[in-house]
Structure 1
């Protein structure tokens, strides 16, 4: 900073004001300082700055494994939002999906001196661990938790999973389907539970029986396994449509129905959730529910940096239905 000040002909306090974007610096002076920074190739010593400010300009992100599309899309969105505001991120993932692993990961981030933590691990056991830890640093959790305590200092940001499930189910009901099976996600995940609830609510409102087929996880192989059983129900007229808890499960269903000689959507309609980049290129293109991941990332970071002292109601974002070729009216009985 002293070198920059010497080249620009200003005090080091002026250089500091320019670097921190503070007012009361003339535009001509600011330009001279920035030119000197470029000339000298100056880079801030963030370690030294952290000693002075007690802030590291680093955000911690706790997440699940990289194989999960929704959480990882959210992590990338948070990282992009943090970078746009001049923050670094430190990412750690859970070794196991239990409370002990969550506490170890959280303490790992705390030990790094992060300024706050965004948790992108929508698991009931993880939120329980966060409640028990009662950490003093700012924290935002991206999870569709339906029972957030009113006085909880932790802020919640999430997409309305229940609304997305209702949109998917109502779309199928609107096409004339009444025997709609839901291939549900794993137990213990907020997103899976909320999508299940939304489907049940729409089915109940329509006076239809709710038949669930539990997949046990989020992966295409499980969707295929469930699909081989559902193919028999479709052939017997016991099901005309399937709402899958995510697009990977829907991929497995499409393959199982194809192998069983069933046509989608002529014999059975399929709806997914998430809108993978490849979903528009499946055969047929998949009707699905799109989540606004970029908006989730921006909202989560803003809640962490700007709303840490004013926790309140969760920040809830709305998903949207994307209608493609995998859904149509049921065959006439």
Structure 2
């Protein structure tokens, strides 16, 4: 059996020191680009892969990243997060990292679980999901010194120009803006069916609709419903009964879009409905929706946590332009 390539083999082929190879693997940002490319080419040519168990023992790292598994809710909700967890697990494995999945039903339970995992050296970092305005988890993890990155902005804690934390998010406003621009081709009366004010994600998606409507000089109804098919159905039923002009409906989620679609069908109307999440339900029912690309979110999260080619979590200076990634979603027209 041929001998597995070593760091020394990579260094010899690339014409660099062993330390330079280590830097490329762990802190690539400090290595000159031409040198980094030469080392990466040598790694590919030799098929080098670090032994994860030996690395954990040597560096006293767990080589694991913690992420909460949300309670099962069924229906349309949760599909995007499920795709994200699968994607980040696959991509972490490619880097020699493991995902440690834990259950928690409340922010307090999650914080307690993360504290145990961090103090027990079972994780090197955590990924937060479902961030909200003034998220209590953010400050607590800061106080405990737990490295983390969030899928979703820690709303109210920082912004793009003055960053405090690492985060990756989907540009919801860009998604609903594209959806509204498409919806306006059916007429100026484009309604937005969203969540009650105060949700960072919901407000961001509403902003995209407002920007597109303002640019077109159009006006449309803003309708509000809790995140359920039945609530959305009731709102659209009422709007149709009141005689509101609905040339098209842009929704903050596919769950709301399903309710809107049912209401429109029951009324015998042909009104285009556009959702957000591009779930299998949107495809099955045949309405347009915004694809978030959670696989791209997963890749960006690991890049920020570990560097573009790193295989360990490394401390990262949080500065404008290097602490965040906004993934541009895609309108899927049906």
Class of the TM-score when normalised by the shorter of the 2 chains:
0.7 to 0.9
User: Equivalent residue of 1:124, what SS?
Assistant: coil
- Verify: 1:22 aligned to 2:7, yes or no: yes
Q: Distance in 1 between matches of 2:138 and 2:148?
A: 9
3-state SS, counterpart of residue 250 of structure 1? helix
Deviation at 1:138, TM superposition (A): 2.7
Matched, 1:142 2:157: no
Number of equivalent positions: 279
Distance 1:105 1:124, change over 3 A: farther
Q: Which residue of 1 aligns with 2:318?
A: 311
8 A Cα contact 2:272 2:287, kept in partner: no
2:223 is the counterpart of 1:216 = no
Structure 2 residue 313 is the aligned partner of structure 1 residue 323: no
How large is the RMSD of aligned CA atoms in angstroms? 2.9
User: Aligned residue for 1:164?
Assistant: 175
Whole-Å Cα distance in 2 between the matches of residues 273 and 178 of structure 1?
Answer: 20
1:157-183 CA-to-partner distances (Å, cap 9, x unmatched) read 11111100100111111x142222211
Distance, in Å, in 1 between the alignment partners of 2:272 and 2:233 is 15
Q: Deviations over 1:67-114 (max 9, x none)?
A: 422323222221111112121111234413x5x445334324424420
1:120 matches 2:126: no
Task: Indicate how the Cα distance of structure 1 residues 230 and 106 shifts in structure 2: closer, same or farther if over 3 A, else same.
Answer: farther
Q: Deviations over 1:103-160 (max 9, x none)?
A: 334324424420111112232243x431343142432111145662556452111111
Contact 2:290-2:330 at 8 Å conserved across structures: yes
Cα distance change of structure 1 residues 187 and 117 upon mapping to structure 2, 3 Å threshold: farther
Q: Cα distance, 1:216 vs. partner?
A: 1.8
Higher relative contact order (CA 8 A, sep 6+): 2
Rounded to whole Å, the distance in 2 between the matches of 1:105 and 1:193 is 30
Q: Which of the residues 240, 263, 268 maps onto 1:231?
A: 240
Q: Residue 63 of structure 1 contacts residue 119 of structure 1 at CA under 8 Å; is this kept in 2? A: no
User: Which protein is bigger by CA-based radius of gyration?
Assistant: 1
What's the offset of the Cα at 1:304?
Answer: 1.0
Q: SS of the counterpart of 2:193?
A: strand
Pair 1:269-2:272 in alignment:
yes
2:63 match: 57
Question: TM-score, normalized by length of structure 2?
Answer: 0.73
* CA distance 1:94–1:208, change in 2 (3 Å): farther
What's 1:327 paired with?
Answer: none
Give the distance between the partners of 1:320 and 1:213, measured in 2 at CA.
23
8 Å CA contact 1:62–1:121 kept in 2: the answer is no
Q: Where does structure 1 lack aligned partners over 5 or more consecutive residues?
A: 1-6, 9-14, 28-43, 325-333
Q: Which runs of 5+ in 2 are unaligned?
A: 14-50, 308-313
